[in-house]
Amino acid sequence: MTYSASAPGKVILFGEHAVVFGEPAIAAALDLRTRVDATESDTPRINGVPLRQETNPYPYHALSVTGSRSMSLTIDSDVPPGAGLGSSAALSVAAVGALGKDYSDAEVAESAFSVELLAQGRASPIDTSVSTHGRAIYVDRNGGSGLLWSVRRGDVTWHIHHVDVPAMDIVVGFTGISAATGPLVENVRRLHSKYSTARNAVVEIGTIAAEARRRLSTGDVVGLGSLMDRNQKLLVTLGVSSREIGSLIDAVRPYSYGAKLTGAGGGGSIISLTDRPERVAEAIAKRGFTPFICKLGGEGLRRENDG
Ligand code: MEV
């Protein structure tokens, strides 16, 4: 018997890094997906190769978290790895969705978050929650309207809400540099524990994300663009931007309402909010980087069969 599931990549529109400390953030699913087929087997294999924790940490922990020892996984993905577009969350959600065939969406999101924590260290549940739910989510410290589920680790509780995102043109620009999320998150933790400027930046990013939620509901792209620019300046303060990210942002600025890095940074990708997506894509390509014109609000976890 083969159990199959697929899940989307994502962009963080506002609030990456600050969300790890419990601050508000907004993320949307993309129309790029990862598919996992899980088949019973004596020796666990990943795409035909015997499973090893060092080379396949996310599948390894997905098998252990779901208590599935004797399963092999076949993985197929169109989410570029290391681009800040949620490839590891899409893989974790699709793997847990295929292995935990009776899990509810809340259980998949919770277990896939455990997989990410085991594989990369500190994290928030934003990536795995948006990949499970699809469409778009708002994360904050309060329950309330649109609440999907809540996730607690240590003294932080994240409440995950559905949020509607209007049809907006988003262009992703990939630096081509893959940066591991774990060390970037750890470096922000170090700055946060040492410097009040970093602590203030984290709180201000949360304020921006909360304001962005209000502006999303009215489709105020001009206001959203200037919030993106402010969010980006604060991410620079947190040390997660890079020369390539700066160069991409300079390239898209003349044709964008706003632009910022998305995801962990350190390389990875930027997003531009624009009504001239082709012009922005051209500007990105001209500097030698890779553009993707994206549709936001992709479908969340999809099980191809219910076994
Ligand atoms: C990575 O996509 C987003 C971070 O905020 C880490 C996390 O929330 O797990 C940088």
Q: Which of 31, 76, 105, 127 is catalytic?
A: 127
Same domain, 8 and 155: yes
Same domain, 16 and 154: yes
Q: Which of 21, 124, 205, 269 to mutate to test the pocket of ligand 1 (most atoms within 8 A of CB)?
A: 124
Whether pTM exceeds 0.95: yes
Same domain, 265 and 228: yes
The CATH number of the domain where 216 resides is what? 3.30.70.890
- Last residue of one domain, picked from the residues 112, 143, 164: 164
Is the pLDDT at 85 greater than 70, yes or no?
A: yes
DSSP string for residues in the chain? -EEEEEEEEEEEEE-TTGGGGT--EEEEEEEEEEEEEEEE-SS-EETTEEP-TTT-HHHHHHHHHTT--SEEEEEEE-SPTTSSS-HHHHHHHHHHHHHSTT--HHHHHHHHHHHHHHHHSS--SHHHHHHHHBSEEEEES---TTEEEEEEETTEEEEEEE-------EEEEE-S----HHHHHHHHHHHHHH-HHHHHHHHHHHHHHHHHHHHHHHT-HHHHHHHHHHHHHHHHHTT---HHHHHHHHHHGGG-SEEEEETT-SSSEEEEE-S-HHHHHHHHHHTT-EEEEE-SS-B--EES---
Mean pLDDT over 200-221 rounds to 96
Question: pLDDT by residue (tens digit) across 184-205?
Answer: 999 999 999 999 999 999 999 9
Mean pLDDT over 217-223 rounds to 94
Nearest CA to ligand 1 atom 2: 263
- Last residue of one domain, picked from the residues 110, 130, 164: 164
- Give residue 68's domain range: 2-164
Task: Answer yes or no: 127 catalytic.
Answer: yes
